[in-house]
Chain A
């Protein structure tokens, strides 16, 4: 199986070299991806919870007789 590669640019000479990742670098890459995915999932869950809370608050305000615009003005 072909290993992923990285491009190294030497800014002093302009030379560009494509190098295969080492096993250690591949492991780091994988660990980073897992961590990023977990962080992203956590962020999306937090946003979904926030949206749900806002929708619930708007529904309760509507039940009190506020128009949608009035409720949104309060909820922001």
Chain B
């Protein structure tokens, strides 16, 4: 029988709109973290927006990231550094299909290590409109900080997260 390695740490489903979610007191007993998000924002006339991810609520200008994204009829990519957060795309707003939520998986390996922290993600922000820019995104970023991650702040870049948005945090052990 394999040892359980995938453990639910926290789950929250919003019942009211919230500008951000803070996951505090993350135990340091796992190897990696997996954050699964299903979100939508209440901003009226926007397409796929991002979620600002900040470990330990750090706003230092030490984040960099690269994303590959759908830009119909083609794909595109962009790269950015010296930011105060990592942009996680997949947070649909009012100009996307009504009442749909974006789906995002964010992986943070070795979150307790004393090295800089890589963060990667995949997202589908819109599943009914193939013409929507940023509907599908893969991204990888780096938080250049050697501190153990004990909290994660997720902030909607536009409007607030709507009721029904869901955030699940899992801890993954390597043994």
**Using a CB–CB distance below 8 Å, which chain A residues touch chain B?**
4-14, 16, 18, 21, 28-29, 32-33, 36, 39, 43, 47
Contacts and interface: CB of A to CB of B under 8 A. Distances in A.
A45 B156 CA distance: 23
Nearest to A12: B25
Interface in B1-22: 9-10, 12, 14, 16-22
B157 A36 contact: yes
Contact of B22 (A4, A6, A13): A6
Contacts of A14: 10
Q: How large is the interface on B (under 10, 10 to 19, 20 to 34, 35 or more residues)?
A: 20 to 34
B132 interface: no
B16 A11 contact: no
- Chain B binding site: helix, strand, loop or mixed by DSSP? strand
- Chain A binding site: helix, strand, loop or mixed by DSSP? mixed
A8 B22 contact: yes
A43 B158 contact: no
A36 B17 CA distance: 21
Instruction: With a 10 A CB-CB cut-off, give which of B23, B167, B169 has the most chain A CB atoms.
Output: B23
A11 B9 contact: yes
